[in-house]
Each structure stands twice: as C-alpha cells, then as structure tokens.
Structure 1
Amino acid sequence: MIYLILSVLVSSFLFVIFKLFDKFQVNTFQAIVINYLTAFSCGFFFYGNGITIPEIVQRPFMIGAVALGFLFIAIFMVMATTAQRNGLSVASVASKMSVVIPVIFAVVVYKEQLSLLKVAGIILALLAVYLTTVKKDGGSFDRKKLLFPVLLFLGSGVIDTTIKYMETKYVADGETPVFSAAIFACAFIIGLVVAIIRGDLKITGKTILGGIALGIPNFYSIVFLLKALRPENLGDSSTVFPINNVAIVMLSTIFGIILFKEKLITKNWIGIAIAIVSIAMIAVSA
C-alpha cells in the first residue's frame, strides 16, 4: 500500500508543477520534453546498477517501452488539445474515467475477481471523478468535439493497461526503474523529433528548470505505480488503478484549494466525499 500512496502523492504534485508552469509562463511542451530526459537520467544513472544503453535496448521490454514512449507524447498532445477545445474538466474526466479499460482487461485476461463491493466502489469512483472535476460552465459535450475526449479516454486506458501487461510479462524483479527509464528515453526522443519538426527549439533557462522539476517526480510516479502493481504488493490492477486515479483527482483538487485558492462548487465537495467512500470500498474488497 505504501507504494500506491507514494504514487498518488507524487502524481498529484505533478499537477501543482503544471499550474506553476502557467504562472511563470514556462513553455509546457518544451518542459515536457526536458522532463522525459530528466526522468530517463534518474532511472539510468541512479538505478541502472552498471547497465549500459545497449544492454537496455536488448531487454525484452524494449518494444513495449517504445510503444509507451510514443503514447506518452501522443496522449499529452491529445490532452492539450482536449483542454483547449473542450475545457480542463472534460480533459480530466476523459483521462481518469479511462480506469475502466485496465480493470476490464484485468478481469478478462488475468481472471481477476470482482466482488459486488469492488464493482460498487469502481462505479462510485467514476462518479467521484466526474463530480470532483465538473464546473458550473462545464456542461455537456458538443458532438462535433467528441473526437479528442474519446481519443484521450482510450489512450489513457491503453497506457495503464500496457504498463500493467509489460510489468507482468517482461519486467524482471529489480528492473522496474530501468524499464521506466527506457519509457522516458523513448518519449524524449519522440518529443525531440516533434519539437524539431515544429521548429520549437528556442529554450529558456526557466523552461529547463521547469522540465527538471517535473521530470524527477514524474519518474517516481511511474516507479511507485509499477511497484504497487507487483504481486508481492497490491498486485491486483482492478484494485490499484481505481484507487490511484480517484485519489489523484481528489488530492489534486485539495492542492488546488490550499495552494491556488481554487473555488469548488457543491458537486465538487460531494465528489470528494464519494471518492473517499469509493477508495475505502475498493481497498476493503482487495
């Protein structure tokens, strides 16, 4: 449970950093690319245990790492577009409600059992995510604007599902940090190529600092999540992912209130209360 708690804390802190990017006018895309380089460096230099890059490339998880690196960049761009066209609430709901995809995958492929209590907890978790992020003016979907929210929903779910599958099938004991580093290295290379194509190469000092500040917690958010998915820890992805996602939304909302004086409507407070209940239900049924 300790790794899941750490994953939630570190992942929630990432939203604080993104908020600070806006405040200090940091180029978000450039910072994201630098963050991936920083995250790779954390894994390779501090947890590599003498492993070389050619040895990493030969690891069985490398193909999955390349795919995840591409997804990390692609889904970030989809998330940005969704936030711009549909609003932050829609982007948050679409990404976090994707928890149903790895849960369904776990039940079908890994034959994980879902008790009535866990099913009820997952349903409440989805409701909590929606209520916590909805705004007064965040209303209904425009059918013409459904494409990017749907892509974000599917992409986020595929990322979580792939991470669990790779951790189960191809990542050996002790290689979690190296696997995470490989994902971030691939994401950095792909992001750098995109930046070159876009001609977005003029980098400022504060963008570099922002990328480093983002990269360190980003690395540990993946490492802690992967460790939480280990069989000797929680292991059961139908338990880990719902708790992780709803807790991140809830804690990020609380950070917004405390650090940035964000205002909540009644539905948001109800969502936080339901989130706490759903986490307890899923944890008890684990």
Structure 2
Amino acid sequence: MSGWIYILLSSVCSVAIAHFLKAAEFKKLDTVKVLTVNYVIAACIAFLTPSGAEIPSNISEQIPALLLAALVGVIFIANFFIYSKSVSKNGVGISVAAMRISLLIPVLLSTIWYLEPLETRQWIGIGSVFIALFLLLPNKRKMIREPLSAAWLLVLLFVGTGLGDGSLKIFEVEFLSLVSKEQFMGTVFLSSTVVGLIVIFAKGKFKFTRQELLLGALIGVPNLYSAIFLIEALERMNGAVVYSTINILTVLGATLLGMIRWGDSLTVFQWTGIAATIISILLLVS
C-alpha cells in the first residue's frame, strides 16, 4: 500500500479523536471515564498485537524503559483531559494546531540533548512557533487577568503534547533495543488506565453510561492506530515528508471539521495563527 494512504489514514485518526472528544464534551459526559475506557481498549490492542522484535529476557534491563512508559502514561491522560477541555472551550482547529506546533519541544530535545544540528530554516521555524502560539491564543488580556481562562489550556496543551512526544523520542533513542514498541505503548496505555481509575475511585462515581463506554472505545481505536499508520508511512517514505504532511493535514482537517460540524469560528489573528502553524511545521521538519 502506498505511503500516502497511510499518511491520510493517520491524519484521519487524529482528526477523529478530536471529533469524539468534542462529542463527549457536547454530551456532557464524564471525560475521565471516557478517557479511561479509551486507554483500556488501546492497551488491550497493543498487548495483543504480536511483535517480531527480539528483546532481552532480563527484566532488570527493561525496568528503566517501563518506568518511562509509566510516566508517559500519566502525561498522556493528563494531556488528553486538557485536550478535551480545550476542544470544548477553544474549538477543534485551534486546539489541534496548538498540539501540532508542540513539535518544537522534541526538536529542541534532539538538538540540545542528542546534539542533532538544526539548519537555519529550522531555527526560523522555532521562532515562528512562538508567533503561531501567540496568534492562536484567544482573549490574551483575559489570560493575564484570569489564570484559569481557556487560553491557558492551549499553553498547557502545547507543553503536555511536547513532553509526551519528547518522551517517545527518548524511548526511541535509549530503550528501543530493550523493549518492543508494542510492549512500551501497552505499558503507556496501562499506566494511563490506572491513573483514570484512581481519579474515578476518588470521585466515587463508578457507574459508566453506555455513551461513555461507546465514545471511549471509539477514541481508543484511532488513538492507537494513528501511531501504527504513522510507523507504516515512515517505513515507506522520507520521514520529513511524512511528519510535515500528517501535521498539516491534521491541522487543516480539524479546522474544517470544527467549522462545518461544530460551528467553530476563528478570528483573523487565529486564521493567521493557523497559517503560521503550517509554516512552522514545514520549517521544522522539512
């Protein structure tokens, strides 16, 4: 199958996640329950997926990788919760754009920690990321006056997504030879599940509605397969082309979805921010 098909499928999965999270907020469902079901489904699929990788049988060698996976799981569910709230408050397109420009964080990790050099255009991309994020933020004055305003959700989303992606970069470089991708992602999703269950028990609301179970399952499948399709595309095409195309398609797709399906409206500054997001992504990974 052509790599372009996998690029399209990965983007569709990412946009589908945003749509289902928006639906969960619209129906006023318990977001934590929906996300917990999502991670249960994703973890089951990941652990049941056979891996052809040869990994060491010594468990002690795998402990650092599994601890990293547990930490990433906490970041994932916290960021997904922020994502869900941001989709509700700020709209689908703006939230997805804030997530996609967080590519800056793993890029800086690669440059500073792993000493992978950046070209001039990529440094320009780093600068344009901050411009894009500023333009995307709604009600900037309110953001300063009210620390809990919707604009701060975009900042938290940017940081959380970047930390999650950066953690996966660490896994790829440091631990891929010790733990298979399926085992690592299964542990990530299992950790997210545990965090979700702890929150549910703390709230004392144990009953799941049918809609929460359904939407959780609907999110879990694209949540896992967006990564699988990405890997399939990377096996067939240049990584820079894959990453830039997927990010651009996802930002544009989520923006159109938000406007057509959910009635999201964007200011002139935010449209400029969307354009700056695309330019930033192109400069960083092309």
Query: Counterpart of 1:124?
Result: 128
Query: Counterpart of 1:212?
Result: 217
Q: How far did residue 130 of structure 1 move? A: 4.5
Give the AA of the match of 1:99.
L
Distance 1:122 1:277 in 2: 10
Query: Counterpart of 1:13?
Result: 16
Q: How far did residue 226 of structure 1 move? A: 6.1
The answer on 1:264 being equivalent to 2:280 is no
Distance 2:243 2:60 in 1: 28
Secondary structure in 1 matching 2:208: coil
Q: How far did residue 94 of structure 1 move? A: 6.4
Distance 1:102 1:262 in 2: 30
Task: Judge which range, 67-76 or 221-230, deviates more.
Answer: 221-230
Candidates 58, 61, 68, aligned match of 1:64: 68
| Matching of residues 25-104 of structure 1 within 5 Å | 25-47=28-50, 59-60=62-63, 61-77=65-81, 87-88=89-90, 97-104=101-108
The answer on 1:202 being equivalent to 2:207 is yes
Secondary structure in 2 matching 1:261: coil
Distance 2:143 2:10 in 1: 31
Q: How far did residue 11 of structure 1 move? A: 1.7
Distance 2:143 2:82 in 1: 16
Contact 1:176–1:227, Cα closer than 8 Å, also in 2: no
TM-score by length of 2: 0.75
TM-score by length of 1: 0.75
Distance 2:242 2:126 in 1: 11
Q: How far did residue 99 of structure 1 move? A: 3.3
Query: Counterpart of 2:183?
Result: 178
Contact 1:43–1:180, Cα closer than 8 Å, also in 2: yes
Give the AA of the match of 1:166.
F
Q: C-alpha deviations, 1:118-163, integer Å up to 9, x for none?
A: 22234334434543x444x464422561796565554333222111
Distance 1:175 1:251 in 2: 32
Candidates 175, 180, 194, aligned match of 1:189: 194
Give the AA of the match of 1:264.
L
Give the AA of the match of 2:272.
I
User: How many residues get paired?
Assistant: 275
Unaligned runs of 5+ in 2: none
Structure 1 pair 190–43 and aligned structure 2 pair: CA distance change class (3 A): same
Q: How far did residue 192 of structure 1 move? A: 0.8
Q: How far did residue 75 of structure 1 move? A: 3.4
User: What is the RMSD of the two structures over their aligned residues, measured on CA atoms?
Assistant: 4.0
Q: How far did residue 66 of structure 1 move? A: 0.9
Q: How far did residue 224 of structure 1 move? A: 4.4
Q: How far did residue 93 of structure 1 move? A: 7.3
Distance 2:142 2:242 in 1: 30
Q: How far did residue 216 of structure 1 move? A: 0.4
Unaligned runs of 5+ in 1: none
Contact 2:110–2:116, Cα closer than 8 Å, also in 1: yes
Contact 1:117–1:282, Cα closer than 8 Å, also in 2: yes
Contact 2:244–2:282, Cα closer than 8 Å, also in 1: no
Q: How far did residue 57 of structure 1 move? A: 9.9
Q: How far did residue 234 of structure 1 move? A: 5.2
